[in-house]
Amino acid sequence: MLIVTGGAGFIGSNIVKELNNIGRTDIIVVDDLTQGEKFLNISDLKIHDYMDKDDFIEKLKNNHFDLKYIEAVFHEGACSDTTEWNGRFMMENNYEYSKSIFLKSIERNFQFIYASSASVYGDNTVFYEQEKNEKTLNVYAFSKLLFDNFVRRYLGKIKNQTAGLRYFNVYGPREFHKKTMASVAWHFYNQIKNDGVCRLFEGIDGYEDGGQKRDFVYVKDAVDVNIWLFKNPQISGIFNVGTGLAQTFNDVANAVIKYMGKGKIEYVGFPDHLKGRYQSYTQADITNLRKAGYSKEFKNVSHGVKDYLDTINAHKAS
């Protein structure tokens, strides 16, 4: 049995889809469907069961279902809103919840592959998995880094696979429900579709208008790393998941404009509430992932955006 927490969310539902593609349907999706429209992310997928996130953690802690049948947990569930400042909620939802699953994975010896975040690097310019490079700018990033550090104390001392994936800026299908936290590719597509103009931030931190750089990684590539780890349970560690290439927000906008054959860019003032809490540059150092044996290439923005928008149009056509 496989469990995907956050399985009705963005990356989680894409993991479920790929597990289906490799013949696995013995999947329990764990999520919170208070935002009911998220069901659309799993309505076309084959799963064994669905479980609310609160019910799941209670049953896990109290051994209310047979843990010996759990092969692996893909832990994608979390509050990923970087503008959420309720620290008590964030720590319970992201940190304590993750600890409970992780400690049970050690006890019951199942694979534990979990979502971390590139936000742990803050405004540093070196993105290599070392504590000296880590600096959190918001409580979301703090919750992720604290859990990474908790895991680090166990790595090399436990038998079961434990792998943390520091996702950089992931974009792609099944993110519609994320609203303001959806990728800029999704927002640019909808802005151009609605009024022909995509809106980017003016320059800040020495960058020109729309010139801030991020490592934009296509969700299918991020999922492929998850599946590769699942197939290689001897590999543990904390790994960056990105392309290794920083590209500008202008690059993303121009890729969307090119695909749609219309549209223009407009620059808007940088929000005051994000100043000092915003990553203007990220670029994954994927040396450790390559050393571990992952060899596939990652799509750049032009190829990833094309595949993404092809998927959107194919869905509409069906």
pTM of the model: 0.95
Q: Where in the chain is the domain with CATH 3.90.25.10?
A: 176-213+246-281+305-311
- Show the DSSP H helices in 91-168 as ranges: 97-108, 139-152
Q: What is residue 33's DSSP assignment? A: T
Task: Say if residue 287's pLDDT is above 90.
Answer: yes
Distances (CA, A) of 202 to 93, 160, 237, 280: 34, 47, 38, 12
Is domain 2-169+216-244+284-298 annotated with CATH 3.40.50.720?
A: yes
Q: Which CATH number fits domain 176-213+246-281+305-311: 3.30.450.20, 3.90.25.10, 3.30.420.40, 1.20.1630.10?
A: 3.90.25.10
Residue 205 has pLDDT above 80, yes or no: yes
Compute the C-alpha angle 247/119/42, nearest 5°.
Answer: 85
Q: How confident is the model at residue 278 (pLDDT cuts 50, 70, 90)?
A: confident
Residues of the chain with CATH 3.40.50.720: 2-169+216-244+284-298
pLDDT in tens, 112-163: 999 999 999 998 899 999 999 999 989 999 999 999 999 999 999 999 999 9
| Secondary structure class of 111 (helix, strand, coil) | strand
Distance CA 286, CA 129 (A): 9
In this prediction, residue 180 has a pLDDT band, given cuts at 50, 70 and 90, of: confident
**CB–CB of 255/298 below 8 Å?**
no
User: Annotated catalytic sites, by residue?
Assistant: 140, 178
Phi, psi (degrees; rounded to nearest 5) at 132 = -65, -20
Q: What is the DSSP string of 192-241?
A: HHHHSEEEEEPP-TTPPTT--EE-EEEHHHHHHHHHHHHH-TT--EEEEE
Say yes or no to pLDDT of 316 above 80. Answer: no
